[in-house]
Amino acid sequence: MVAETLRHLNTTTFPAFHREHITALPPRSKKLSSAGETGTSNGVYQNFELELIQDVNMEDFEDYVNRRMDTDQFVEEYASLPPADQDRCVIAMSEANIKCNRYRKIYPYDDTLVALRKDDGLMEGDFINASYITGYGNPREYIATQEREDITADYTTRMITVKKNDDIRTVYHLHFTSWTDKRRPVYGATTLIAFYRKVHSFDIVAKGPLVVHCSTGIDRTGTFIALDILQKQTMLKGILNVYKCVKKLRSERMLMVQTEAQYVFMHKFLVEFIQCGFTTYDVNGFQDKFRLLCNAEPELAGLSRLERQFQILCEIKDELHESPEKDGLSIENKYKNRDMDVIPNDFDRPRLPGKVKDDYINAVFVDSFKVHDFYVATQMPLPQTVVDFWRLVYKLKTRSIIMLNQFDNTDPTSKPYWPSNDQPKQIYGPIEVTLIKTNNEDRRKNLRQFQLLTWPNSEKVPPNKEDILKLIDLTEQWQGQFRSSRAGKTIVHCLTGGRQSGVYCGATFVLDKMRSEQQIDVFLAARYVTRRRPQFLQTQEEFKFLHEVAIAAIERSRLNGNIQ
């Protein structure tokens, strides 16, 4: 273990009807392609509308989607959806209420308008830009409205007590925060599937309408409500019809599902939902669940459900990785990469301080379960990038460096990048690094490097799951004392910044969710970490290992009396 101080010389369940095991489909015949990000409804109805009202069996839904993707039929479908009908918005457009609408031309229809009761002594009237929406078999199951929206990390749950006179009610506020206006969720379908399960775990629908809002009350709100309805239809009837669902929503609130991209995303979401179902499992009983996941299933062409999940992960991984990698491939930066197959995308890489042409390092930000951009995954510094590595450490105010690879004595580019006992002070460009001590006893250090010594570079996963659990524990104990003073980013590196770093980041995500929510979702963790670096988790063995780490953590907690 090494600790340094730095000195600069230059001064982020469904209710009871939920079926745990949705019938899995055989492997995909074709990868779904992406769609444009914008689209508008022009109200031109096509002859194919008769076909659109036909329900599709969930077993046939993927082929149905692929055929439409191949022929651009989604463009025509979306264009044929009903346009806004402002003749039905007399109340919202009245002189008294027009100012209460946040956006021009987005108004609720009179026949589905939510009317507020006017309280004595209050100046406000009874108008709000909100509409009742029919659910799956339930009238007024939702209220769609518009509200101010701020973006944070993924989702937040708040419990609020609302009191009027002696009537006290508990309201759960769930905030999904990784979904920007008029686009799809940042992490695709997986995070949204997990969010639906969280929403319905409170069993609040039976006690009153579910209020759903975004900035406009039509784009993300419409998409969310439509997908909620379609999931229920899929689980209860085994059939679905996206077009008919959206058309029905638009009859109750104008322009629901505002963009073509969101309309296409809904189909991709449902394909993934049918293929994987819910991938979140309770801690209690997870060992038994894991054994079932590993069993081969005839309906999956002999694959296990775990193998099928990994197959889907690989197929959809590139859809989320849309950013270019031009910076890392430029002439001035090529020599800074250890592996040309592991290049950071331009939008998710940290920038070094200084000139624009000198700001590159082969590294990417990676989210933890709770914090956006908590980790930075990078490669083992090359001789020509050691200075850049320490510039990165200084800029990010890093307190922890986690080294996962071993030194290769035959590789001249794989050498220590920190001072030694013989030379405790080294200067790397504008950064002076001083070795304080090489043990773990003194907690007064500014920075610590944790090195896992038992993971050979040639092995895909560590030989001992307990070793990586201990490494995570040591790092979190060290980081914990700095949380109140902004500990900075944690740097994780292996030889290339790909394979081993991905396993570590995935494992910490799984364990953080397990501790916070008593639930395990390895598929969700894999989607998170691979979005920033597709080279993470490239083998079935690595994906399976994350499940085994969770089981090892459960067994350890049970021995300590933390889990019954």
Question: Mean pLDDT over residues 313-333, rounded?
Answer: 80
List the structure tokens of 398: 């890093």
Give pLDDT, residue 51.
57
Does 162 score more than 90 pLDDT? no
Give pLDDT, residue 38.
41
Residues 391 and 459 placed together within one structural domain of the fold: yes
96 within some domain: no
Q: Look at the chain and report how many structural domains it folds into.
A: 2
Q: What is the pLDDT of residues 111-139, one digit of tens each?
A: 999 987 655 444 456 788 999 999 998 99
Question: Mean pLDDT over residues 354-365, rounded?
Answer: 90
Query: Residues 86, 109: contact at Cβ < 8 Å?
Result: no
Residues 363 and 273 placed together within one structural domain of the fold: no
Residues 263 and 342 placed together within one structural domain of the fold: no
pLDDT level of residue 438 (50, 70, 90 thresholds) = low
**SS3 of 408-447:** CCCCCCCCCCCCCCCCCEEEECCEEEEEEECCCCCCCCCE
232 within some domain: yes
List the structure tokens of 530: 């691979």
Residues 499 and 391 placed together within one structural domain of the fold: yes
335 within some domain: yes
- Name the average pLDDT for the chain: 83
Residues 77 and 226 placed together within one structural domain of the fold: yes
How many CB atoms lie under 10 A from the CB of residue 460? 16
Q: What is the pLDDT of residues 180-211, one digit of tens each?
A: 877 788 777 878 988 888 888 776 545 788 99
Give pLDDT, residue 57.
96
Residues 464 and 345 placed together within one structural domain of the fold: yes
Does 422 score more than 90 pLDDT? no
302 within some domain: no
Lowest mean pLDDT, pick from 4-18, 170-184, 267-281, 546-560? 4-18
288 within some domain: no
Last residue of one domain, picked from the residues 260, 278, 296 = 278
Which residues face 375 on adjacent strands?
Answer: 366, 490
Give pLDDT, residue 254.
98
Residues 253 and 331 placed together within one structural domain of the fold: no
Give pLDDT, residue 552.
97
Give pLDDT, residue 521.
95
Last residue of one domain, picked from the residues 227, 255, 278 = 278
Which string of DSSP letters, residue by residue, matches 481-543? TTGGG---PEEEEESSSSHHHHHHHHHHHHHHHHHHHSEE-HHHHHHHHHHH-TTSS-SHHHH
Give pLDDT, residue 43.
42
Range of the domain at 188: 49-85+138-278
Q: What is the pLDDT of residues 380-390, one digit of tens each?
A: 999 999 999 99
